[in-house]
Amino acid sequence: AQKITQTQPGMFVQEKEAVTLDCTYDTSDQSYGLFWYKQPSSGEMIFLIYQGSYDEQNATEGRYSLNFQKARKSANLVISASQLGDSAMYFCAMRDSPHPYDYKLSFGAGTTVTVRA
């Protein structure tokens, strides 16, 4: 079963506007972590933001914030004041196996964001 679902294959956003990227997850663990990565056209994966399942506050990192709704199992990424350099593919990922020696992440299919001037 798919652990991470990103339903938006591609999105367009106007420069300086905010954009929300959807991510839903599936896990039966109580303890898990959610990550967002950015992949520009150069191909390198860049870590953006992390949310732990027990974190009471939504995570924020500069222009990135995570809208974490635990009951709905969603972890949407919000990019505020979009810039042309935000054009990239964005991946949601989860670690839901906090057991020794099991540090793998499950990734979604990704969402391509194109920022228009």
Nearest-angstrom CA–CA distance, 110 and 6: 6
Among 24, 68, 91, 113, binds other proteins (CB under 8 A): 91
Among 9, 10, 40, 62, binds other proteins (CB under 8 A): 9
109 binds other proteins (CB under 8 A): yes
Nearest-angstrom CA–CA distance, 112 and 117: 16
Nearest approach, Cβ of 93 to other proteins (angstroms)? Answer: 8
Helix and strand element counts for the chain (H, E): 0, 12
Q: Would you state the structure tokens that stand for residue 48, as one six-digit string?
A: 């953006």
Among 31, 80, 83, 114, binds other proteins (CB under 8 A): 31
Asked if 113 and 78 touch (Cβ cutoff 8 Å), the reply is: no
64 binds other proteins (CB under 8 A): no
| Other Cβ atoms closer than 10 A to 106 | 16
Provide the binding-site residues for other proteins, judged by CB under 8 A: 4, 6, 9, 31-33, 35, 37, 42-45, 47, 50, 52-53, 91, 93, 95-96, 98, 100-110
